[in-house]
Structure 1
Amino acid sequence: MSWKRRTLIAVSCVVALVLSAGGWVIVQHDFDIRAERVTVTGGAQPLQGTLALPERGDGPFGLVVFVHGDGAATADRDEFYRPIWETFARAGYASLAWDKPGVNGAPGNWLDQSMPDRAAETEAAIAWARGRPDIDAGRIGLWGISQAGWVLPQVAVRHPELRFMIAVGTAVNWIRQGEYNLRAELRERHASDDEIAAELRRRENDLSLLRAGASYDRYLAATADSPPMSADRWRFVGKNFRSDATETLAQLRVPTLLLLGEHDLNVDVAETARVYRESIPASLLTIRTFPDASHNIVTFDLDKPDSLRSFLVALFAPRSLYAPGYLDALREYAAQPPNH
């Protein structure tokens, strides 16, 4: 066989492999949903949202309203939510989420919001959705992650008619959560005792400034943070660092599913589980903990954004990012009859 022919065969094989891989990626990112961009009105400002309807059927469908965690977030959290939306669609539910204010061209600035502001925003989204003919107003639930733990209970207490509340990796007390997160991340990178002590002193200094209502200039002059928080972030933390969900959870009468990752570096899941059990009637509460799962209920080894393996799994098998059983747990819970 001539070298030209061998080269042609090799190139053809590479091209076929690339085309095959490209086709696989397209299939894996083709979720069984109809995603529609919407403008949610009725709140402090319009919200740029995505309504993900089941691929088939005219409805009316149940609805899961999504509440983001901390940070700038697009409606689908950079596609991270899409496998979850597909999961709820298979249970007969649409999903609604929105770009945080100031993100992706949305009006406003999410760092101007308090947790009550975020709860009011969520209530406005529920009211807006109830006006749509393709949404069943009697089958609306909540899904929220992390910082949403200070938002979901406020909404659910004011709306006991909600079908369910699904809380993922939620904390109870802002200050305790921050210390737990700091200690856990330091342990994860095997920090020395001296380094841990120094970081705790730095943190306590910032808390003293927050408790004193210090201005941003005073914070900059006194902090050891490297880099320091932005002015917007400092104001945001100042509005919210006293957040605690304990009293609100004690008033909750909505069926609740609490989902926790055993290897959560952000939230003390043992404390969260204990407080939820002490606060919510056992008949309304289901708790499930996933072994070797992260804060996001992603397999811990894959919850590393700079990892090539994580990137490849997200590209070629995005549903496989999540801990085994997580998506099934969501679908099965949503599909149960009311008052489960």
Structure 2
Amino acid sequence: MDGVDARDVEFRNGPVRLAGSLAVPRSGAAARAGVVLVGGSGPTDRHNDTFFPPLRRHLLEAGIAVLSYDKRGVGGSSGDWRAATLTDLATDASAALDFLRSRPGVPSATAGFFGHSEGGWVVLRAATARDDIPWVVTNSCPATTPAVQERHALAHHLRETPARSRADADRTLDLYDRLVEAGRRDADFATAMRLVDEAGRPPGLEFYWGEVDESLWTFLKRKQDHDPAGDLRGLRCPHLALFGGEDPLVPVADSLRGLGASAAHGSRPRRATLTVEVLPGADHRLRLPDAAEPPPEYFAALTGWLHRRCP
């Protein structure tokens, strides 16, 4: 990309080595702001599949330096994300922000976080743990627990599969609920598999259970009841929350109610303003039907909000 200084970088969070990509506008002047992009669930790399490249390009065109990185155990990064907690992942994001702020031409005072999906929970936790965060952006991040979000996504998948009967869908959701309860009892993977086998692996379960092994089961049960409300109430900076109106994975209406309740909580600092943007018809990555990337109005809403906070 012309006018951009882009390179591979490495930084550390204690024993964990994190590999990523740093891109800084090469305009002869300092960048207007800086942002750390934090990807979603699973083995996400610095590009978050295909979502981050167009986002990175647009931010750079708006004069914003961008750092994204491979999650623990992915790409060039050491460690194992499945052995981590959300707090561990938040400290990785915090180390990324410190590294970004140390780069020449990146203004520390206007460098913040952007977290997509699960990455939103991560950056909310990272931002709440610090006093020097100027702003935070969450993208398609549920204001519910992971257990509630996953059930919503599974129910949507079952509704959208014509071959599924109502009885089959009910059986699958009942098994999901029993797996969540097993996770709360800290049941081992063998116990969870017994529940799945005894239920006859009902149709549609593979959407949730298809890639679950022992290590992923341990991660899921550790994460499932994480409640972002505490971090939302503890924010001490402006927050922009972006959603697609037709996101099949996120309970958007429930999330809006949760965001509003946290923003109105008496303990939340007054400088922690909340701005919500919902793009009608857009999916989990804010794409409209048949589009490969988000539309111009999505990028305009994001960079317009950032520019108002990074004069």
Same fold (TM over 0.5): yes
Q: Which deviates further from its counterpart, 91-100 or 279-288?
A: 279-288
Q: How does 1:121-132 map to 2 (within 5 A)?
A: 121-132=92-103
TM-score by length of 1: 0.80
Alignment-derived partner of residue 176 in structure 1: 148
Alignment-derived partner of residue 240 in structure 2: 257
Distance (whole Å) between structure 1 residues aligned to residue 231 and residue 49 of structure 2: 31
Distance (whole Å) between structure 2 residues aligned to residue 58 and residue 250 of structure 1: 37
Q: Residue 280 of structure 2: which of 291, 294, 300 is its match? A: 291
Q: 1:55 to 1:192 in 2, by over 3 A?
A: farther
Percent of matched pairs sharing the same residue: 27
How far is the alpha carbon of 1:97 from its aligned partner? 0.8
Alignment-derived partner of residue 325 in structure 1: 297
For structure 2, list consecutive stretches of 5 or more residues without a partner in the other structure. Answer: 265-269
1:155 aligns with 2:126: yes
Q: Provide the secondary structure at the position in 2 that maps to 1:250.
A: helix
- The aligned amino acid for 2:213 is S
How far is the alpha carbon of 1:290 from its aligned partner? 0.5
For structure 1, list consecutive stretches of 5 or more residues without a partner in the other structure. Answer: 1-29, 303-313, 315-320
Q: Residue 21 of structure 2: which of 50, 65, 81 is its match? A: 50
Q: Residue 107 of structure 2: which of 125, 136, 139 is its match? A: 136
Q: Residue 40 of structure 2: which of 69, 75, 87 is its match? A: 69
Q: Which deviates further from its counterpart, 116-125 or 275-284?
A: 275-284
Q: 1:101 to 1:218 in 2, by over 3 A?
A: same
Q: Provide the secondary structure at the position in 1 that maps to 2:16.
A: coil
Q: Provide the secondary structure at the position in 2 that maps to 1:221.
A: helix
CA RMSD of aligned residues (A): 2.1
**Normalized per residue, which structure has more helix?**
1
Distance (whole Å) between structure 1 residues aligned to residue 153 and residue 48 of structure 2: 22
Q: Provide the secondary structure at the position in 2 that maps to 1:41.
A: strand
Q: Report which of the two structures shows the higher radius of gyration computed on alpha carbons.
A: 1
Q: Provide the secondary structure at the position in 2 that maps to 1:138.
A: helix
- The aligned amino acid for 1:152 is V
Q: Provide the secondary structure at the position in 1 that maps to 2:34.
A: strand
Determine if contact 2:31/2:105 at 8 Å carries over to the other structure: yes
Determine if contact 2:25/2:65 at 8 Å carries over to the other structure: yes
How far is the alpha carbon of 1:244 from its aligned partner? 0.8
Alignment-derived partner of residue 102 in structure 1: 73
Q: How does 1:166-245 map to 2 (within 5 A)?
A: 166-171=137-142, 172-190=144-162, 191-223=164-196, 224=201, 226=206, 227=210, 229-245=212-228
Determine if contact 2:51/2:285 at 8 Å carries over to the other structure: no
Give the aligned length.
293
Distance (whole Å) between structure 2 residues aligned to residue 119 and residue 235 of structure 1: 19
- The aligned amino acid for 2:192 is Y
- The aligned amino acid for 1:176 is V
Determine if contact 1:260/1:289 at 8 Å carries over to the other structure: yes
Residue deviations 1:94-128 (CA, integer Å, cap 9, x gap):
11110112212421111111111111111111222
- The aligned amino acid for 2:53 is R
Determine if contact 1:31/1:82 at 8 Å carries over to the other structure: no
Q: How does 1:101-120 map to 2 (within 5 A)?
A: 101-120=72-91
Alignment-derived partner of residue 280 in structure 1: 263
- The aligned amino acid for 1:296 is R
